Structures are given as C-alpha cells and as structure tokens.
Amino acid sequence: MSLLIGALTLGFIFSLIALGVLISFRVFSFPDITADGSSTLGAAVAAILLVNHVHPALATAAGFAGGFLAGALTGMLATKCRINGLLSGILVMTGLYSVNLRIMGRSNVSLSGASTLADFAERAGGALIGRTTFNAMGWEVASREASILLAAIAFIALAGCVMYVFFQTSLGTAMRATGDNSQMVRALGVSDDNMIILGLAVSNGLVGLGGALLAQYQRFADVQMGIGMVVWGLASVIIGEALVGTRSLGLSITGAVMGSVLFRLLVAIALRMGLNPNDLKLATAVFVFLALVAPSLLKRLKPFGHKLAGAPNA
C-alpha cells in the first residue's frame, strides 16, 4: 500500500513536469529540453533556501522563479539570437549543470532537518485524521503518506486550473495561436518572439516547481536528478493523449496529469517485478520511441486493412 501511495504521489508531483512539457512541445511545438536542467534548478534553489530556514512556500515559489528564468533564457536564445530551438535548450541545460552545483555548493543537499511543504501537509493531515494509521477499504494506510498524497493532488488540481484559465485569457490565447500560426499572430499585432519567451518561461517555471516539490518529498536535491525529465514528461503527455485525446486544452491538461500518474504506477509495477532501476531510463526512452512511431506504423498498415475489407465488393 505504501508503495502505491508513493507512486501516486510521485505521479502527481511529476505531472507538473508533464504540464511544462505539454506547453513547450504541444502548445508551442517547441522541442525544449531545458527541463532536464530547470527541474534540478527548481530543486536546488528550493533546497538551499530550505536549509537556510526560509519558509517552504517561499522556497517553492523560488523554485518556480528559477525555472521561469531558465525558460526565458532558452526562449531568448531561440528568438532574439536565432539559435536553433533544440540547441538553445541544450546550451541552457548544460550551463545549468554548473549553476546548480554553484547554488547547492555540492552535488547533493539533504533536507532531513529542514521544514518542508511535506511536513506542513503531514501536520495538517495528522491533525485532521488524529491517528498515525487508518483503514481505507481494508488497507492499513499511514496517515502521513495519505495527507502528502492529498496535498499533492490539491496542489496539482490548482495548478491545472490556473493553467487552464490562463490559456483562455487574451494573453494565453495569443500564446496558443503562436504555436499554431506565428504569421497570423504577427499580423494581429503580437510579437511571436515574446510569446515564445514567455511560454517557455511558464513551461520551465512549472518544471522548476515540480523539481522543488520533488526535492521536498524525497528530502534531498541532487545535481543529477533532472536527467531524463523531458522524456518522462513527454511519456506522460503521450499516455494522456492516448487516454483522453487532444480535442481541447482542458482534456490535454487532464490527460497529462493522468498520464503522469499512470506512468509512475507502471514504473512502480515494473520495479516491483524486478526491473533494474538502472534500466529505467532506457525503458522510458524505448517506450516514448514506440509511442512516437506507433501512429505512423498503424497508418501504414491501415490502407492494407481497408483493401482487405473492401475486397469482396471489388
């Protein structure tokens, strides 16, 4: 049970990264891989502030701000300096590795003594439930784990709603239109460059926020923790699209969160069944690869199927 709750909590925290990837890859069609660096940046900033007794809410917000700035930088490289989008992300991500080490002062910062948002959630949950464990449908559940999970769900629900509303505002709609048709957006008086910069900033802000929450949940920040984040986020987005489709932004947001949770559950099951944790990133990469080529493979098979179905009439 503890394993399940842990996987769910991780899934919800990671869904912030999926939402960030949703913005860059899907809304803007921008292959932004800054997230590998900005997630660590969010974690590093939050961790070092927490160690220095800054309020957890403030430290978490600072994690968002760190990611936001990193994303804005990638956007500026891509638009103002006309550097290829993928390369812009690589440059910022690579640079961030050193920045993160500088911020943390070492490669790993432990949060074991610090007060975190997870502690807040535990205390609030503990006060509400009043016992250390409770019975949920026949399962013994630790109330501190349950309260962290509930807090994570509430946090993500709020973030998803804010994101949904934002993309319906006149600024947010202009951002979506930029990803669809930048020529039109310029003709309607919007700087597509500024939209891309702001969009990548928001995207990486969410990723940084995810990093900050992850660090508080697992009680440490590590300079290597961001490796593979983009692919994880992309995997979640793809699973989400398979689950609910892409008809509207609201569905895409819901799908990305669901995809992230489902993906974490699959990972937990795979690890439980004996997958070597070292092979996890390879497995993820192969999964994303299959998800990317499957649609075109199916399409190539389809006309053949039609021919077979239509054969009796011909």
Partner 1 sequence: MLDIAGVNKTFNTGTPNELRALRGIDLKVLDGSFVVVIGTNGSGKSTLLNAVAGSFLVDSGAIKVAGNDITRWAEWRRAKFIGRVFQNPFSGTAASMSIAENLALAAYRGKRRGVSWLLGKGLLSSMRERVRELNMGLEDRLKNAIGSLSGGQRQALTLLMATWLRPQVLLLDEHTAALDPKSADQVIALTDAIVKRENLTALMVTHSMQQAASLGDRLIMMHRGQLIQDFCGAEKKRLRPEDLMARFEEVRRAELLDESAAAMLRRMYV
Contact set with partner 1 (CB under 8 A): 166, 168-174, 176-177, 180-181, 183-192
C-alpha to C-alpha distance for 250 and 235, rounded to whole angstroms: 18
Query: Which has the closest alpha carbon to 120: 162, 158, 142, 150?
Result: 150
Shorter beta-carbon distance to partner 1: residue 136 or 184: 184
User: Least distance in Å: CB of 124 to partner 1?
Assistant: 30
Tokens of 314: 């011909």
Shorter beta-carbon distance to partner 1: residue 247 or 300: 247
Nearest 10 degrees: Cα torsion 104, 108, 114, 115: 90
User: Least distance in Å: CB of 23 to partner 1?
Assistant: 15
Shorter beta-carbon distance to partner 1: residue 176 or 264: 176
User: Least distance in Å: CB of 159 to partner 1?
Assistant: 16
Backbone φ, ψ for residue 116 (5° rounding): -125, 170
User: Least distance in Å: CB of 88 to partner 1?
Assistant: 20
Shorter beta-carbon distance to partner 1: residue 245 or 305: 245
Shorter beta-carbon distance to partner 1: residue 146 or 237: 237
Shorter beta-carbon distance to partner 1: residue 129 or 249: 249
C-alpha to C-alpha distance for 147 and 137, rounded to whole angstroms: 16
User: Least distance in Å: CB of 117 to partner 1?
Assistant: 26
H or E, element range at 134: strand 133-136
Shorter beta-carbon distance to partner 1: residue 115 or 182: 182
User: Least distance in Å: CB of 231 to partner 1?
Assistant: 25
Distance of CA 42 to the CA centre of its chain: 12
Distance of CA 141 to the CA centre of its chain: 27
Distance of CA 25 to the CA centre of its chain: 12
CA distances from 154 to 9, 144, 147, 151, 165 (A): 11, 15, 10, 5, 17
User: Least distance in Å: CB of 21 to partner 1?
Assistant: 18
Q: Which residues contact 169 (CB under 8 A, 6 or more apart)?
A: none
C-alpha to C-alpha distance for 63 and 155, rounded to whole angstroms: 15
Query: Which has the closest alpha carbon to 88: 69, 99, 75?
Result: 75
